[in-house]
Structure 1
Amino acid sequence: MEFGVDEAGKGPVLGSMFAAAVQAPREALPDGIDDSKRLSDTRREELADRLRGDDRISVGIAEITPERIDAGNMNDLTVAAHAEALAEVAEDGDAGLCDAGDVDADRFASRVADRLDAEVSLGAEHRADESDELVGAASILAKSTRERHVATLAERFGDVGSGYPSDPTTRTFLREYVAETGALPDCARRSWSTCEDVLAAAEQSALDEF
Structure 2
Amino acid sequence: MDLKNSQSCISESYELFSSVPEVAREQPCIMGIDEAGRGPVLGPMVYGTCYCPVLYGEELKDLKFADSKTLTEAQRLSFFQTIDNNEHMGWGLEVISPSLISNSMFKRAKYNLNMLSHDTAKKLIEKVLARGVKLEKVFLDTVGPPEKYQAKLSAFFPNLEITVSKKADSLFPIVSAASICAKVARDQALKEWVLEEAESEANDEGWGSGYPGDPATKKFLKEHIDPVFGFPDLVRFSWSTAKELMEKHCVKVLWDDEDLEEASPRKRQRSIASFFGGHDVQESRQRSMFFKERCLRPLSSWEAK
Give your verdict on TM over 0.5: yes
For 1:43, the equivalent position in structure 2 comes to 75
For 2:242, the equivalent position in structure 1 comes to 195
SS of alignment partner, residue 128 of structure 2: coil
For 1:124, the equivalent position in structure 2 comes to 164
For 1:2, the equivalent position in structure 2 comes to 30
Equivalent AA in structure 2 for residue 156 of structure 1? A
Q: Does 1:101 align with 2:132?
A: no
Equivalent AA in structure 2 for residue 197 of structure 1? E
Change (3 A) 1:37 1:157: closer
Q: Does 1:137 align with 2:168?
A: no
The equivalent position to 2:221 in structure 1, one of 153, 164, 174, is: 174
- Mapped partners of 1:115, 1:62: distance in 2: 19
SS of alignment partner, residue 94 of structure 1: strand
- Mapped partners of 2:212, 2:169: distance in 1: 24
Change (3 A) 1:176 1:131: same
**1:4/1:96 contact within 8 Å kept:** yes
- Mapped partners of 1:172, 1:188: distance in 2: 13
- Mapped partners of 1:55, 1:96: distance in 2: 20
Equivalent AA in structure 2 for residue 26 of structure 1? G
Q: How far is the alpha carbon of 1:74 from its aligned partner? A: 0.7
Q: Deviations over 1:154-201 (max 9, x none)?
A: 643521110111111011111111159852011111110111122233
Change (3 A) 1:169 1:203: same
Change (3 A) 1:5 1:152: same
Q: How far is the alpha carbon of 1:65 from its aligned partner? A: 1.8
Identity of aligned residues (%): 28
TM-score, scaled to structure 2: 0.61
Q: Deviations over 1:61-120 (max 9, x none)?
A: 112222221123111011122222233324455112101111x2121123234455x832
For 1:21, the equivalent position in structure 2 comes to 49
The equivalent position to 1:69 in structure 2, one of 101, 119, 123, is: 101
Over the aligned positions, Cα root-mean-square deviation in angstroms equals 2.2
Give ranges in structure 1 of 5+ residues lacking alignment.
205-210
- Mapped partners of 1:74, 1:111: distance in 2: 16
**2:230/2:250 contact within 8 Å kept:** no
**1:47/1:140 contact within 8 Å kept:** yes
Change (3 A) 1:92 1:119: farther
For 1:110, the equivalent position in structure 2 comes to 151
The equivalent position to 2:202 in structure 1, one of 141, 151, 156, is: 156
- Mapped partners of 2:227, 2:78: distance in 1: 39
Equivalent AA in structure 2 for residue 106 of structure 1? E
List structure 1 runs of 4+ shifted beyond 6 angstroms.
none
- Mapped partners of 1:49, 1:181: distance in 2: 44
Change (3 A) 1:127 1:133: same
Please tell me whether Structure 1 or Structure 2 has the larger radius of gyration of its CA atoms: 2
The equivalent position to 1:32 in structure 2, one of 64, 70, 83, is: 64
SS of alignment partner, residue 12 of structure 1: coil
Q: How far is the alpha carbon of 1:53 from its aligned partner? A: 2.1
Equivalent AA in structure 2 for residue 125 of structure 1? S
SS of alignment partner, residue 243 of structure 2: helix
For 1:208, the equivalent position in structure 2 comes to none
Change (3 A) 1:67 1:119: farther
Q: Does 1:57 align with 2:89?
A: yes
- Mapped partners of 2:135, 2:250: distance in 1: 56
